[in-house]
Amino acid sequence: MSTQGLLDTLRREGRTILTEVEAKEFLAPTGIPIVPTRLARSQREAVRIARELGWPVVLKVVSPDIVHKSDIGGVKVGLTSASAVARAYREIMQAVRTHAPQARLHGVSVQKMAPPGREVIIGAGKDPQFGHYVMFGLGGIFVEVLKDVAFRLVPLTPRDARQMIREIRGFPLLEGQRGQPPADLTALEQALLGLSAFLEAHPEVQEVDLNPVFAYPQGCVAVDVRVVVEGGALASSAPSGGTP
Amino acid sequence: MTWTFEEMDRMFHPRVVAVVGDKKDRDYMWLRSVSTLKGKVYSVQVNPEEAANIVAMGFPNYSSLLDIPEPVDYVIVAVPRHVAPRVLEDAIRKGVNGVMFFTAGFAETGEPEGIRLQQVLTDMARKARMKIVGPNCMGLFNPRWGLRHSPEQYYDDGGPVGFISQSGTHATFFSLVGYQHGVKISKSASMGNGIILHADDYLDYLGQDPQTQVIAMYLEGVPNARRLFHLMQEIGQRKPIVVWKGGQTSEGARAVQSHTASLAASTALWQAAVRQANALWADSFDETLDLVKALCFLKEPVGPRLGLVAMTGGQSVVITDAFAKAGLQVPLLTPRSYQELATFYSTIGGSYRNPMDMTPTSRNLDMVRRVLDILARDDNIDAICYEFNMGFSAREGMVERLVDLLGEFREAYPRPFLCVLSAVHREAEAVGVRQALAQRGVPAYPSFQRAGNAFRKVWDYYRERRERGATRPAPAPAGPVRPG
């Protein structure tokens, strides 16, 4: 679906939060590597996609009405066979019927499990005074507890991207400790610049979360993403969370 | 709405000023403030008693702006808020260049009538394309022109510092306290609620003003944050900008609302903007002054390696800690310097590795100069900080001679030279020494920490500016210090 087509759909359906599958497709122009994720509408389709992507895979429920997917049993990880995928699909469907019978259901997303890397978070938001900004930090407790994040206003220069990564206190962890090779800092800088350029072209974006992004010695990949756009005619005012 | 340099410049250089509504209750502070104007001052006051006093003070008084028999450039309005729209209407009809409202009680009150009146003024001014300073402010200060907002401010004098403030208090005290530190204003603006002219407009002007070389801003919340950011990026490559941001906490942000009725964006985004623009972040009045002082007085830093001179062993330890904690370096000197020092330095009680511990020699001014000259020639040293300790140096009438010596050294040394003035138990005398040093171009800081912090931030600014490829040429490599 084209970007405009997607925005039209959102407007028609009165929503501002993209589903995971929509968000990943929407962010493709950023050039940020994102774990391939496809929508399956049936058990058979889920198995076929899993075979194409390679093992192990993760299945997640896709519904604009279900925000906390794992709370209702809508996420199944570490699936290594067709039978496991089929069973997971049925269990997710059962969970939705039990816990969220009214939810609009797009299907189930199938994605390959990314090998673990150093977790970072890349985000963006829109401030009423300063406009779009980009955020960078280490994932997990670093962002949640220590608030160890750096901000820059869009547009970022390459120098801004370089400096904001080095500005966080946890930066030495990305350089590699105890014989660990350094994370691919160039790839992270490119991701920040790609997101900045994307935001310049998309004033409607209110919030972006790429969390986590796995940083490897070579390259990086965004595992989960979240996108919120402005309500526009729907005039959804207060954006939720994500503010610095 | 944007304004040309000429439009703004004319407002800062009014040939005719009218003060509307000054009164005895406030000791006619507005008329007294502008009595130094290089131009003519009129009063507008309808109360016969007040008018009589004003005329007795020597100011021609009229009952309306429209009655003043010549064109008026700048109007200072100090009337009750409900009269403000009528004064603005007269000013628009009179065709003045700009209007300043000392009058308060508008949107900052948060109550409907204040908000309504502010909107009335805003709509009138926009329609007429009239420049408004304020309301709820102290207005403009151009000391060379004698345009002031306090009778205590100086005139016929001025410096290189432009100051923009969302608080009248900070604008007034930055000028008065700064003067005590040798920091003089080129132009300053207290902008209050900023209904027409806001921080971005003043910054745009000061960026183009040839008298302004350093800019500092006290900001709370800015409606045109994007424009301000772009101006900071552009101007910051030519003129250093210090940003002191009020309302950094949620409690402070609430206070901002009732002070200037502006919405404070998050501190994290302000810090991002400041970094991206290569401006200097200040957390307080004192730090703002520390940084501005360093930017005005220090020669351009070329590196982070300090040669430190302290009066005793104890001071040597803590000055080193302070500078190292600020992220600066205190390196060993070259072997050649040590050879020279060994020829005359007493090793008993003193040490000369770096810092130079002057214990045995602190009262011998020839020794002080010799030590400074050796540091100046040393290739490992990019800047020098001297501890001027009132406890040791204030004896035997040597203060004046030491100030002269440091002033002469500052002239000769091509790199940054700063002092820490340890007042110890002689605080009252220290003020005079600080001013005397400032007159010789030597910034003096009250603590090692403040000196280290100021030097670090100024060094960061110049390094970043050079790395971004500013046009200013790199300074010549250090040569031998010229005698005298």
Tell me: pLDDT of A238 over 60. Answer: no
| pLDDT average, residue stretch B319-348 | 90
CB B299 within 8 A of CB B409: no
Neighboring chain A residues of B276 at a CB cutoff of 8 Å: 152-153, 157, 160
B168-180 and B427-439 helices, crossing angle to 10°: 80
Q: Do A93 and A150 lie in a common domain?
A: no
Least confident of A142-151, B297-306, B322-331: A142-151
End-of-domain residue from the set A53, A78, A113: A113
pLDDT, tens only, B94-121: 999 999 999 999 999 999 999 999 999 9
Query: Is the residue at B185 inside a domain?
Result: yes
Contact B272 A153 (CB under 8 A): yes
Q: Where residue A230 sits, what CATH number does that domain have?
A: 3.30.470.20
In the structure, what pLDDT confidence band is assigned to residue A236 with cuts at 50, 70 and 90?
very low
Neighbours of B29 (CB within 10 A): 19
- Comparing CA positions, the residue from B53, B62, B61, B64 lying closest to residue B28 is B53
Choose, out of B269, B270, B271, the residue to mutate when testing the contact with A (most A CBs < 10 Å). Answer: B269
| pLDDT average, residue stretch B356-373 | 82
> Minimal Cα distance from B268: which residue of A?
A244
Give how far Cα B151 sits from Cα of B103, B162, B172, B174, B439, Å.
Answer: 18, 19, 10, 15, 23
CB B17 within 8 A of CB B75: yes
CB A148 within 8 A of CB A137: yes
Tokens of B50: 């007040």
Tell me: pLDDT of A19 over 70. Answer: yes
Please name the residues between 140 and 159 in chain A that touch chain B, using a CB distance below 8 Å: 149-153, 157, 159
Contact A133 B272 (CB under 8 A): yes
| pLDDT given at position B361 | 63
Query: Is the residue at A171 inside a domain?
Result: yes
- Whether B271 contacts chain A with CB within 8 A: yes
The pTM of the full predicted model, rounded to 2 decimals, is 0.91
DSSP class of residue A18 equals P
Cα distance between residue B349 and residue A240, in whole Å: 65
Q: How many domains does chain A have?
A: 2
Neighbours of B332 (CB within 10 A): 11
Q: Do A131 and A102 lie in a common domain?
A: no
Least confident of A90-94, B71-75, B249-253: B249-253
CB B155 within 8 A of CB B132: no
Contact A128 B266 (CB under 8 A): no
Neighboring chain B residues of A155 at a CB cutoff of 8 Å: none
| pLDDT given at position B350 | 65
Q: Do B78 and B118 lie in a common domain?
A: yes
Q: Closest partner residue to B229 among A128, A130, A163, by Cβ?
A: A130
* Domain that residue A105 falls in: 36-113
Query: Is the residue at B423 inside a domain?
Result: yes
pLDDT, tens only, B412-451: 999 999 999 998 888 888 899 999 999 999 999 999 999 9
Query: Is the residue at A4 inside a domain?
Result: no
Q: Closest partner residue to B269 among A151, A163, A167, by Cβ?
A: A151
Query: Is the residue at B477 inside a domain?
Result: no
- Whether B273 contacts chain A with CB within 8 A: yes
Q: Do B305 and B239 lie in a common domain?
A: no
Q: Closest partner residue to A153 among B222, B223, B273, by Cβ?
A: B273
Q: Do B253 and B330 lie in a common domain?
A: no
Q: Where residue B62 sits, what CATH number does that domain have?
A: 3.40.50.261
Q: Do B364 and B285 lie in a common domain?
A: no
Query: Is the residue at A14 inside a domain?
Result: no
Query: Is the residue at B476 inside a domain?
Result: no
Amino acid identity, position A138: L
Q: Which residue has the higher pLDDT, A71 or A205?
A: A205
B285-297 and B168-180 helices, crossing angle to 10°: 50
End-of-domain residue from the set A64, A87, A113: A113
Tell me: pLDDT of B163 over 50. Answer: yes
Cα distance between residue B115 and residue B305, in whole Å: 54
- Whether B269 contacts chain A with CB within 8 A: yes
* Domain that residue B386 falls in: 300-467
Tokens of B130: 């009239």
Cα distance between residue B267 and residue B272, in whole Å: 9
Contact A130 B269 (CB under 8 A): yes
Q: Do B274 and B317 lie in a common domain?
A: no
B285-297 and B448-467 helices, crossing angle to 10°: 60
Q: Where residue A79 sits, what CATH number does that domain have?
A: 3.30.1490.20
| pLDDT given at position B362 | 58
**B473-479: long-range contacts, CB 8 A cutoff, minimum separation 24:** B474/B302, B475/B299, B475/B300, B475/B302, B475/B414, B475/B415, B476/B414, B478/B302, B478/B376, B478/B377, B478/B379, B478/B414, B478/B415, B479/B414
Tell me: pLDDT of B482 over 60. Answer: no
Give how far the C-alpha of residue A109 lies from the chain's centroid of Cα atoms, to the nearest Å: 13
Tell me: pLDDT of B254 over 50. Answer: yes
Cα distance between residue B218 and residue B118, in whole Å: 22
Query: Is the residue at B463 inside a domain?
Result: yes
End-of-domain residue from the set A98, A113, A128: A113
Q: Provide DSSP, B135-174.
A: SSS-EEEBGGGTB-SSTTS--S---SEEEEES-HHHHHHH
Q: Do B38 and B175 lie in a common domain?
A: yes
Q: Do B252 and B120 lie in a common domain?
A: yes
What backbone phi and psi angles, to 5 degrees, belong to B121? -60, -45
Q: Closest partner residue to A153 among B222, B263, B276, by Cβ?
A: B276
Query: Is the residue at B481 inside a domain?
Result: no
| pLDDT given at position A139 | 85
Query: Is the residue at B480 inside a domain?
Result: no
| pLDDT given at position B185 | 98
Q: Do B88 and B110 lie in a common domain?
A: yes
CB B199 within 8 A of CB B260: no
Q: Do B243 and B228 lie in a common domain?
A: yes
Q: Do B435 and B309 lie in a common domain?
A: yes
Query: Is the residue at B136 inside a domain?
Result: yes
pLDDT, tens only, B185-204: 999 999 999 999 999 999 99
Q: Do A50 and A144 lie in a common domain?
A: no
Q: Do A78 and A140 lie in a common domain?
A: no
Q: Do A147 and A226 lie in a common domain?
A: yes
CB B5 within 8 A of CB B206: no
Q: Do A105 and A142 lie in a common domain?
A: no
Q: Do B349 and B451 lie in a common domain?
A: yes
Least confident of A221-225, B1-5, B170-174, B364-368: B364-368
End-of-domain residue from the set B245, B265, B294: B294
- Whether B272 contacts chain A with CB within 8 A: yes
Please name the residues between 14 and 53 in chain A that touch chain B, using a CB distance below 8 Å: none
Tell me: pLDDT of B84 over 90. Answer: yes
Q: Is the ipTM of this complex over 0.95?
A: no
Burial of B97 (0-12, 13-18, 19+ CB in 10 A): buried
Query: Is the residue at A17 inside a domain?
Result: no
Q: Do B339 and B256 lie in a common domain?
A: no
E-only strand ranges, A72-180: 75-79, 107-112, 118-127, 131-138, 149-153
CA distance A131 to chain B (A): 7
| pLDDT given at position B218 | 97
| Start-to-end C-alpha separation, chain A | 32
Q: How many domains does chain B have?
A: 2
Cα distance between residue A61 and residue A138, in whole Å: 27
